[in-house]
């Protein structure tokens, strides 16, 4: 066991969703401790959350700029910052910590345009800092297994992908959604997209990381179905990858009956896989001879590079929190290795700032395609 790292959080204040999930995930392995925060836009909110979490009052900050400056000067300052605000604030917060020489974890989408993404990529590279973008789903053991078996050729060359991420929680204005729904539908806080940036971007990342395929161009139809909505809530995207394979992505927040139904089907010339995030303990593999196998987490059929992340034996279900924790496990191991001078690029087993930038370019191309009247747009 290495040194316990220290981290600070921006966002995750009273009533927030994902900040609390990050804290629980990081706690799972006891490799890092929360010691500082600017948890809310309001200082009262930061004080409330800080008190509830037992953070020393002198490490509760009014702004993330103040936090980055103060923490970088302390002997016992934070090793990494976790940015879990609504999308519009990601860029400035990440930039402040990178400039202060602090590693960063930021939730998706990385930021709201590709100029910002390039700048964050550049800063992380030039400063030699690690940058995790928490696309949660690639943390699942079975998602990593999918990547491994595709890499080793179990389904042959990938020819086509069909992936969907339907949710129903924003099917009607004002009925559900609460605090989380209101900022997602507000261009000032969400950027130029709601649904595609929120969950379509998870499809893009999950498929990219499982297959290793790079997108060449997209044709998108991003619709605002609920009357009065300013941003998209139902999106169809046709995809062409650089190797000539094709894909079809559907993301929706108006699909009543679905909770969080990310499903990925990948078809090669030797077989196919199906992975469903609501049942992440297994993955289905079909070979071209018609034989169907379910690979279950916890068994010897799981590739070692994925199996090493399992915490529990088979039949003792792991889920979303464990997936997020697995991203942090690799991120924290890499920070420790940097400190020890043993870091190597092939240790990185989490989505990075470059993957986040790919996500932002995907979103921009889809927006352009939609504005052009649903034409093909190169990335």
Ligand X SMILES: NC(=O)c1ccc[n+]([C@@H]2O[C@H](COP(=O)([O-])OP(=O)(O)OC[C@H]3O[C@@H](n4cnc5c(N)ncnc54)[C@H](O)[C@@H]3O)[C@@H](O)[C@H]2O)c1
Residues lying near ligand X in the complex (CB under 6 A): 10-13, 16-19, 38, 40-41, 45, 64, 84-87, 89, 107-108, 134, 136, 179-180, 183, 198
| Residue 242 Cβ vs ligand X, minimum distance, rounded to whole Å | 26
- Pick the closest to residue 201 from 237, 160, 254, 151 (CA basis): 237
Considering beta carbons, is residue 64 or 236 the nearer one to ligand X? 64
Considering beta carbons, is residue 80 or 241 the nearer one to ligand X? 80
| Residue 39 Cβ vs ligand X, minimum distance, rounded to whole Å | 6
Other Cβ atoms less than 10 A from the Cβ of 226: the count is 16
- What single-letter DSSP state applies at residue 217? E
Q: Would you call 99 exposed, middle or buried from its count of C-beta atoms within 10 A (0-12, 13-18, 19+)?
A: middle
In angstroms, how far is CA 290 from the centroid of its own chain? 34
Task: Note the residue count of the chain.
Answer: 379
Other Cβ atoms less than 10 A from the Cβ of 267: the count is 18
22 contacts 12 by C-beta, under 8 angstroms: yes
Considering beta carbons, is residue 268 or 280 the nearer one to ligand X? 280
Q: Would you call 376 exposed, middle or buried from its count of C-beta atoms within 10 A (0-12, 13-18, 19+)?
A: middle
| Residue 165 Cβ vs ligand X, minimum distance, rounded to whole Å | 11
| Residue 103 Cβ vs ligand X, minimum distance, rounded to whole Å | 18
31 contacts 328 by C-beta, under 8 angstroms: yes
Considering beta carbons, is residue 40 or 369 the nearer one to ligand X? 40
- Pick the closest to residue 356 from 90, 127, 18, 144 (CA basis): 90
DSSP string, 2-66: -PPEEEEEEE--TT-SHHHHHHHHHHHHT-EEEEEEE-SSSHHHHHHHHHHHT--GGGB-SSHHH
Beta bridge partners of 215: 241
Considering beta carbons, is residue 12 or 247 the nearer one to ligand X? 12
- What single-letter DSSP state applies at residue 60? B
| Residue 81 Cβ vs ligand X, minimum distance, rounded to whole Å | 11
91 contacts 112 by C-beta, under 8 angstroms: yes
- What single-letter DSSP state applies at residue 3? P
| Residue 156 Cβ vs ligand X, minimum distance, rounded to whole Å | 31
| Residue 18 Cβ vs ligand X, minimum distance, rounded to whole Å | 3
| Residue 335 Cβ vs ligand X, minimum distance, rounded to whole Å | 20
Considering beta carbons, is residue 108 or 297 the nearer one to ligand X? 108
Beta bridge partners of 285: 273, 293
Cis status of the peptide bond prior to 42, with omega within 30 of 0: no
Considering beta carbons, is residue 155 or 231 the nearer one to ligand X? 231
| Residue 138 Cβ vs ligand X, minimum distance, rounded to whole Å | 10
Considering beta carbons, is residue 180 or 293 the nearer one to ligand X? 180
Considering beta carbons, is residue 202 or 297 the nearer one to ligand X? 202
């Amino acid at each position: 066991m290495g040194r316990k790292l220290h981290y600070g959080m921006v966002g995750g204040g009273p009533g927030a969703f994902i900040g609390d999930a990050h804290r629980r995930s990081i706690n799972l392995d006891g490799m890092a401790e929360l010691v500082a925060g600017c948890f809310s836009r309001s200082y009262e909110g930061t004080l409330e959350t800080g008190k509830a979490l037992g953070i020393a009052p002198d490490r509760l900050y009014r702004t993330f700029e103040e936090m980055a400056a103060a923490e970088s000067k302390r002997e016992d300052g934070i090793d990494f910052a976790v940015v879990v605000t609504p999308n519009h604030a990601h860029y400035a917060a990440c930039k402040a910590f990178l400039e202060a020489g602090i590693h960063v974890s930021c939730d998706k989408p990385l930021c709201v345009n590709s100029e910002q993404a390039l700048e964050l990529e550049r800063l992380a590279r030039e400063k030699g800092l690690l940058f995790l973008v928490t696309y949660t789903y690639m943390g699942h053991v079975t998602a990593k297994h999918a990547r491994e078996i595709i890499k080793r050729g179990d389904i042959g060359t990938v020819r086509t992908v069909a992936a969907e991420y339907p949710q129903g929680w924003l099917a009607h204005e004002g009925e559900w959604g609460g605090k989380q729904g209101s900022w997602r539908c507000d261009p000032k806080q969400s950027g130029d997209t709601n649904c595609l940036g929120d969950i379509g971007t998870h499809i893009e990342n999950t498929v990219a990381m499982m297959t290793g395929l790079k997108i060449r161009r997209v044709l998108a139809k991003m619709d605002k179905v609920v009357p009065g909505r300013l941003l998209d809530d139902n999106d169809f995207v046709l995809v062409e990858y650089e190797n000539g394979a094709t894909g079809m992505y559907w993301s929706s927040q108006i699909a009543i009956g679905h909770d969080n139904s990310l499903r990925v089907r990948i078809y090669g010339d030797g077989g196919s896989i199906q992975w469903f995030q609501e049942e992440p303990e297994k993955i289905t593999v079909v070979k071209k001879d018609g034989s169907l196998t379910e690979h279950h987490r916890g068994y010897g059929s799981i590739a070692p590079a994925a199996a090493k992340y399992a915490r529990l034996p088979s039949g003792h279900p792991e889920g979303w929190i464990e997936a997020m924790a697995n991203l942090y496990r690799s991120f924290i191991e890499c920070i420790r290795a940097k400190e020890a001078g043993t870091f190597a690029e092939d240790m990185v087993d989490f989505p990075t700032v470059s993957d986040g930038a790919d996500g932002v370019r995907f979103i921009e191309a889809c927006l352009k395609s939609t504005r052009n009247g649903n034409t093909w747009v190169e990335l």
